[in-house]
Amino acid sequence: MSVELDMTGRKVVVAGGASGIGRATVTLLRAAGARTCILDLAPEDAGGAQDERIAMDIADESSVQSALGRAAQVMGGLDGLVNTAGIFDPSTISDTDLSLWNRMIAVNLTGTYLLARHAIPLLRKQQSGSIVLLASGVALVPPGPGSAAYVASKGGVLSLGRSLAREAAPKIRVNCVCPGMVDTPMTRTVLHDNNKVRPEIVANYALQRAATAEEIAQAILWLTSSASSYVTGIAMPVDGGRTFH
């Protein structure tokens, strides 16, 4: 492990850290020496005994504010925030009723705003801080028909991240990771058919496969670490060559 990726002494909150990309991120952060705190609806399902775990509803402001405050208190401060919490639905716009639309925006976009709003004052108390938001490759190039509410919510995350990068500077860096298709429990029903990866989906990717959660977590780790100390406001595609940004 390089010196730049040594996270010893860093205190990082991972929202959505109980599964998928979030859980892989927690594993890598801890391996690099960071202290982590998982915020999730079901935090008891995640990590080992060394992880702090706090229940949080990302769509509820009081829950977000309380969870972040408690995390900072338990860890003795906050150096980093990673938000991997989110929901997905492949519905076309005609099949997206208002309740689905509102839920997608509430969790994916409003939840991101709530985390940033209440984390930034905590991060400003440190000498430096990093926020990494999980947008999506679909925020760069929509995948085709369907997923209208999801695409809209992730496009909002991308724009919010860019705005926050300017507002939070110079002490806090804000970046977005834009994954392509990742093989996680959230995407499995779309990616797989009879336990086999659907070839028409991976055909859109130059690398001809979906990513693992660990491959996305590697990008998150780099953006959280001092190795990316002069990087802020970017949208980093980790999409196996679907968008070629």
* DSSP secondary structure, 22-71, as one string: HHHHHHHHHHTT-EEEEEESSGGGSS-TTSEEEE--TT-HHHHHHHHHHH
Position 240 pLDDT exceeds 70: yes
- What is the distance between the alpha carbons of residues 89 and 149, in angstroms, rounded to a whole number? 8
Per-residue model confidence (pLDDT) at position 128 = 85
Tokens of 96: 């997206």
- Model pLDDT for residues 222-236, shown as the tens digit of each residue: 999 999 999 999 999
Asked if the structure places residue 203 within a domain, the reply is no
Please check whether residue 36 lies inside any domain of the structure: yes
Tell whether 171 is covered by a domain. Answer: yes
Partner residues linked to 53 by β-bridges = 38
> Which residue among 113, 150, 205, 230 is the active-site one?
150
Placement of tokens 């994954």 in the chain: 179
Q: Name the residue with higher pLDDT: 211 or 159.
A: 159
Mapped onto helix, strand or coil, the DSSP state of residue 156 is: helix
Tokens for 107, please give them.
Answer: 């969790």
Where residue 130 sits, what CATH number does that domain have?
3.40.50.720
Residue whose C-alpha is closest to residue 133's, from 208, 73, 58: 58
Phi, psi of 78 (to 5 degrees): -145, 125
Q: Does any domain span residue 96?
A: yes
| C-alpha–C-alpha distance, residues 153 and 158, integer Å | 9
Q: Is residue 24 part of a domain?
A: yes
Among the listed residues 68, 39, 42, the one whose alpha carbon sits nearest the alpha carbon of residue 54: 39
Over range 198-210, report the average pLDDT.
82
Enter the pTM of the model: 0.92
In this predicted structure, the answer to whether residue 49 has a pLDDT above a threshold of 80 is: no
Residue whose C-alpha is closest to residue 204's, from 190, 185, 223, 184: 190
Confidence grade of residue 25 (pLDDT, cut at 50, 70, 90): very high
Residue 193: inside a domain: no
Q: Is the pLDDT of residue 182 over 90?
A: no
Is 242 part of any domain?
no
Q: Span 145-160, mean pLDDT?
A: 94
The letter for the amino acid at 81 is L
Nearest by Cα to 133 from 182, 168, 174: 174
In a domain, 14, yes or no: yes
pLDDT at 1: 40
The separation between CA 96 and the C-alpha centre of its own chain, rounded to angstroms, equals 24
Average pLDDT over the chain reads 90
150 is catalytic: yes
Which candidate, 60, 61, 56, 59, places its Cα nearest to that of 13? 56
Residues 6+ apart with CB under 8 A from 28: 214, 217, 218, 220, 221
Which structural domain range is residue 230 located in? Answer: 3-181+212-235
Q: Report the number of distinct structural domains present in the chain.
A: 1
Share of the chain above pLDDT 70, in %: 90
